[in-house]
Structure 1
Amino acid sequence: MSLTWPQAIRQFSGYLQLEKSLSLNSIEAYVRDVRKLQQWLALERLPAGPLQVTTRLLRDFLATLTELGLSAPSQARTLSGIRAFYEFLLLEDLLKADPTDTLESPKPGRHLPDTLAYPDVERLLSAIDLSTTEGLRARAVLEVLYSSGLRVSELCDLRLSNIYFEQGFMRVLGKGNKERLVPLGREAAKHLHFYLGGVRQHQTVQPGAEDTVFLSTRGRPLSRITVFTTIKALAAQAGLTQNISPHTLRHSFATHLLEGGADLRAVQEMLGHASITTTEIYTHLDRDYLKQVMTEFHPRS
C-alpha cells in the first residue's frame, strides 16, 4: 500500500483527536515531531514514505538533531512523537514491524556541552559593561553570533557592504566560499548600530580593513582569538562554569530555534550546513520565510 506523508499525518492527527482525545496543543506537538522527520527525509533526498522508514534512517535523523545542537530532552520529546506515529500505523495494520522499536531515547542528563540555556545566554549578555568601547563591541559580537548562528570566522570576515539593515539580512561568506543570506535579529541590529555609530566610526582604520565590521582597538580586523578570549572572560564574570566558546552560541542559536518549533530546513539553511549524505548546500529558501522563522521562534525576537 502506498501512503503519502500528508495522508499519514492527516490520519494520525484525526486519531489523536478522536481516539486519544488529546488537546489541540498536544496534537500540534506530535504532528510537528513527525513533520521534522518528513522534512529531514526531503532534505537528504531520501524518497521514503512513512511506511518505508527504517530504523537506520531514524538513527541518522537523530544524529542530525544532535549535530544541530538539539538537547537530549528535546530529542527524546521528538522521538516520543515519532514513536506515537508508528504505534498508530501498527494499530491501523499499515505496518508489520515498528522501526522505532530498538531505538534508545537520548538520556535526559546528557546535555550537549556546548549549548547554553536561554537564561544563561542572558546572564552572559548582562555581564558586559556597556559603558566601555570594548563592551559595546563585545555586546554587538555576541548578539550577532547568537541571533544569526555565525561561525567565528564568518563573524570576523563580516563586511559592512554585506549588511542590509533595512532588509534585516546579512550576506555571509561560509565554508568553501559559499555565500548565504542570514536574518539579522532585532537585538543584534540594535547593538550593531550602537557599535558602528558609537565606536567604529571614531576609529582610525588600517589599510585593507575599511569594509570590515568588527575591528580591534588598533583598527585591524578583529581576530578569532580575541573573540574566544572575550567570551571566556564574560562567562567567568557571569559565573558560568561550562566551557563556552563562539561555537556555543552557534549551537545555542540552532537549539533554541528548533526547541521553539522552527522548521528544520530553515535552521539548516541559516547555519549553512552541508547535508550529511551529500556535499551540497540545501536549496535556498525564500528570504521572507527565513525572517518569519527568526521572528517567530528566536528567544531574542
Structure 2
Amino acid sequence: MTITQEYLERSRLFRRLKNGAHGQLVELYAARLVEVGLSRIGTWRCLNVVGNLLDWMASHRARLANLDERMVERYLRHQGAKQSIQLGDRAALKRWLLTLRTAGTIAPAAVSVNTPQEQIFAEFGDYLRSERGLTARTIVHHLPAIRRFLCEVCPAGATDLGKIKQEDVIRYVECHAQDWSSRSAKAMCWSLRAFLRYLHHTGLNPHALAGCVPSIRQWKFASLPTYLSAAQVQRVLDGCDRASPTGRRDYAILMVLSKLGLRADEVATLTLDDVDWRAGEMLVRAKGRQRARMPLAPDVGAAVVAYLRDGRPKSSCRELFLRSLAPHVGFCSGGAITMIAKTALERAGIRGYAHQGAHIFRHSLATELLHSGATLSEIGQLLRHKSHDTTRIYAKVDIEALRTLSLPWPGGAQ
C-alpha cells in the first residue's frame, strides 16, 4: 500500500468530499493521485484545493459542467486576494480538469486558434526539422529572436513578410546588436539567417536576405575556461547527503558530470536502457543528434547502482534520474541538472565563478586530465568535440607548457 493510499483511508477531508455531491468524481481524482504517487502532504493539498474550488462554485451557483480553464483562473484570482497561491495549486486543478474530461463531465479543452504569426512559426519549425535536421529543443531557441524581429519589422503580420528589404535587416541588427552580450548577438544573427533563408526557400520573400545579416565580431579563445580543482570537486561530492534518496540521486548525477564530463542535457536524457552493465558502457545522446558510447567508470557505476537500489522511486518512467517529488518522472530539460549542480556548489561554499552550473564540471575534468598528461586530442575524444578548436581553449590553462613558449627577458630570466 502506497503512502497516498494510506492517507486516503484515514483522511476526514477525503471522506467529506467523497460523501458530497461529486463523490464519484473525487474518487476518480484520488485514484489519479495514487497513480502518480504523491506524498501525504501533496495529496492533502490537492484534495483541499479541489474542495475549496467546489465550495466556491457552490457559493456562486456555478454548475460543474461549466467548469473550464477560465473559471479556474477566476477562482485563483479570488483565492489570491485572500491568501497566496502555492506552486502546486495550478497543477492540482489542471489534474482535476483532466479527471473531469476523462469522465466526460465537462467539455473538452478549447482548441487554440493559431494566429498568422504562430502559423509562420509552426511552418518555420517544420522547415528547420525536415530541411536542416534540427531538434525541437534547438528550434525553440530560434523563436524569441524571430518574434522580436517580426514585431518590429513586420508589425502588420504575415502579409508584410514579402516586403522585408535588405536595409530593414541591417538596420535591425545594428540597432539591437549591443542589447546583450556578443554571444547573444551572434545567436540573434544565426536565428535571423535561418528565418530569412526559410522565407526565400518557401517563396514568402523574393529576396535572398540571409547573406546580408551582418557578422558579429567575437574573438575566439578570448576567455579562460572556468574550472574547479580536484579538491574542490571532491568537496562538492562530499557535500551530498548520501543517506537520503535525493542525496544519492544528486551524488550520482554529480559523479556523471565530474567523472564522465557529460553535459546537463545529456544527463537529463539518460535512460535505464542506455546503461550496458555487462560491457561497462553508457550510451550518451550528444549534441547534433550524435550518439556515443562511453566507458562507465567503476566509481560512477557504483554511485548509479546505489541510487537505483536505494534512491530511485518506483516508476514506469524509463529515464535514469527522476524527480524526487511526485509525479516521479524524468527531468524535462537539462535546466534541472544545472540547478542540482548549482545547489551543490553553493552547499560546498564554492562561489564567485563566472559559470556556476553543470558545465563547470566538464571544464574541470578536461583541465585535470590536461594536468595529468593527457593530450588535447585525447581530451577532445572524451568530451566528444567536433572541432579541435573547441578543445584548444584548454591549452590556455596549461601554465607549465606555456612557459616553454615564452621568450627570454633581457638578463636571461624567462
**TM-score, normalised relative to structure 2:** 0.37
Q: Is 2:238 the counterpart of 1:129?
A: no
Q: Are residues 1:204 and 2:319 paired?
A: no
Distance (whole Å) between structure 1 residues aligned to residue 283 and residue 334 of structure 2: 19
Does the alignment pair 1:239 with 2:349? yes
Equivalent positions of 1:20-169 (< 5 A) are 112=224, 114-169=226-281
| Helix, strand or coil at the partner of 1:143 | helix
Secondary structure of residue in 1 paired with 2:254: helix
Q: Which amino acid aligns with 1:195?
A: Y
Question: In structure 2, what is the equivalent of residue 219 of structure 1?
Answer: 328
SS in structure 1 of the partner of residue 293 of structure 2: strand
Letter in 1 for 2:344: L
Give, in whole Å, the separation in 2 of the partners of 1:185 and 1:253: 14
Distance 1:250 1:277, change over 3 A: closer
CA separation of 1:113 and 1:241: change in aligned 2, threshold 3 A: farther
Rg larger in structure: 2
Which of 251, 260, 263 aligns to 2:363? It is 251
**Displacement, 1:127?**
0.9
Residue 187 of structure 1, CA deviation: 1.4
1:247 offset after TM fit, Å?
Answer: 0.3
User: Aligned residue for 2:381?
Assistant: 269
Question: Using the alignment, how far apart are the partners of 1:183 and 1:228 within structure 2?
Answer: 23
Question: Given residue 241 of structure 1, which amino acid in structure 2 is its aligned partner?
Answer: R
* 2:336 counterpart letter in structure 1: T
RMSD, aligned α-carbons: 2.3
Q: CA deviation at 1:141?
A: 0.0
Give 4+ residue runs of structure 1 displaced > 4 Å after superposition: none
Deviation digits for residues 233-260 of structure 1 (CA, Å, limit 9, x no counterpart): 2212211113321000111111111211
| Alpha-carbon offset, residue 226 of structure 1 | 2.2
Structure 1 unaligned residues grouped into runs of 5+: 1-105, 279-301
Q: Which residue is equivalent to 1:193? A: 305
- Structure with greater helix percent: 2
**Count of aligned pairs:** 165
Say if 1:113 and 1:242, in contact at 8 Å, map to a contact too. no
Whether the aligned pair in 2 keeps the contact of 1:181 and 1:270 (CA below 8 Å) is: no
SS at match of 2:294: strand
SS of the counterpart of 1:180?
strand
User: Residues 244 and 311 of structure 2 are in contact (CA less than 8 Å); yes or no, is this contact kept in structure 1?
Assistant: no
**Given the two structures, how large is their TM-score scaled by the length of structure 1?**
0.51
The structure-2 alpha-carbon separation of the partners of 1:111 and 1:240, relative to structure 1 and needing over 3 Å to count, comes to farther
How far apart, CA to CA, are the structure 1 residues paired with 2:278 and 2:365?
22
Aligned partners of 1:176, 1:236: CA distance in 2, in Å? 32
Any conservation in 2 of the 1:154–1:174 contact (CA below 8 Å)?
yes
**Larger CA deviation: 268-277 vs 190-199:** 268-277
Letter in 1 for 2:329: R
| Greater length-normalized contact order (CA 8 Å, ≥ 6 residues apart) | 1
Query: Are the counterparts in 2 of residues 172 and 180 from structure 1 also a CA contact under 8 Å?
Result: yes
Q: CA deviation at 1:186?
A: 1.9
In the alignment, residue 220 of structure 1 is paired with which amino acid?
V
